[in-house]
Amino acid sequence: MIRTRFAPSPTGFLHVGGLRTALYAYLFAKKNQGNFLLRIEDTDKTREVAGGTQNIINTLHWADMFFDEGPEIDGPYGPYTQSQRLELYQKHAQQLIAAGHAYYCFCSAERLDAVRQAQIAAKQPPAYDRLCRKLSPEEVQIKLATSEKQVIRMKVPLTGSITFHDIIRNDVSIGYNVVDDQVIIKSDGFPTYHLAVVVDDHYMHISHVIRGEEWLPSTPKHLLLYQYFGWQAPQFAHLPLLLNPDRSKLSKRQGDVAVEDYRAKGYLKEALINFIAFLGWNPGDTREIFSLKELEQEFSLERVGSAGAVFNIEKLNWLNHQHIMRKSDEEVLSMVKPLMEQAGWDIPDDTYCLRIIKVLKERLVVLPDFITYGDYFFNAPSIFDETAVTKHWHHYTPEHIALFVERVKELTSWDVLSLEAALKATLEQTGIKMGALMAPLRITLTGFAQGVSVYELMEILGKTESLKRIAYGVETLTKQTR
């Protein structure tokens, strides 16, 4: 059975790269009728952030990526939090020592730093010099008896290489000469990632390990541990790096990297998932818009490339707009209502709001755009854009607007067609061009020269409110432009 896992550390908000790893593991499991697990790797207590685990769970649930086993979900191979599995790691570390595959290291941090600095000065790759690997059993027992601080390191072969198959990168060979004798149990008794991940993946029956490219150099260590324990290793798939547009590694220095950042900015989960899915994978054709369910049916690791994937915010914006357009007006209203409340607007009935969504939906890239573009539907302008006024307001403008107002006051039907006919009749009467009347009208109604159709705007605002705004705008701007 296919079993995949997402195994983040609770060190803060979930990175978009982490969400992609989770997504690919989730999609691969679902495509193959398998199980997707969440495992919290919290053995580095110095980096743990309060609430980090719950944030990870909340983010996955927000994205509709529900795990089959994990924290808060009972499963046959729990617990799914590493700090609750310490005895298991200690047991297996001792097994490695007994079999001669690991050893105690008593080197101080000061000595390790000195060795590292000397290697750097000699232009050698920094690595442990394996001093304690040479200790006799008697020397080890003496040091343990004196309670010297120690760690446990795995023994890596001194010569040779290892070749393994990666689903994305095909066969990969790495020489043991570049693989360090990794610490597997720290001085505080907690395991490092390298021991814990192998033990947990084995006991949780993980069939496919899907993770970022940065873990590729560590794979020989993990495969050695599988060999030392006599276990069958899972299949590996190392995902390409996420890159900034300048091809540097995606980092917070150049923009938002937390999923929470994009949620707060009004990106839809459907768009973010769609976008992240394409950061390395493609369906093999020209399709670009996918729902999560559609991705579950289409995804395959064989279509994931090895080249770095550029995080293009313009593409995310485009996808977000497309997914907003896929939503019903009622769904969009439910999403923007909290934003309207935060803006302190007096929210009329849903019917009024839905009429606004119908005319604004095409303009929305992110949800807060509704607040930006829709404010004048809820609040009459008290100030008017100076640039727009300078360009479009002339000494004859009030006279032309007055002619238009006379016509619309007589309308028995206040709708787009009637308002359009009234405006065109005014243009014929005055001989002016459309923009000479349309732009000043929009300024009086909204404060700006650009925006939705004046006809649609006036229809939604209603006759009383429209005429009230026009009258105020004409009076105010006539005084300002004298």
Active site residues: 252
Residue (of 188, 257, 201, 197) closest to 44 by Cα position: 188
Most distant CA pair in the chain, distance? 109
Write out the two tokens for 336: 């923007």
Alpha carbons 160 and 180: distance in angstroms, whole number = 14
Alpha carbons 49 and 224: distance in angstroms, whole number = 32
Contacts of residue 36, Cβ cutoff 8 Å, sequence gap at least 6: 4, 5, 6, 25, 26, 29, 30, 65, 67, 68
Alpha carbons 4 and 22: distance in angstroms, whole number = 9
Q: Report DSSP state, residue 275.
A: H
Contacts of residue 328, Cβ cutoff 8 Å, sequence gap at least 6: none
In the beta sheet, which residues pair with residue 415?
none
Alpha carbons 192 and 95: distance in angstroms, whole number = 16
Contacts of residue 326, Cβ cutoff 8 Å, sequence gap at least 6: 270, 289
Write out the two tokens for 224: 């050695």
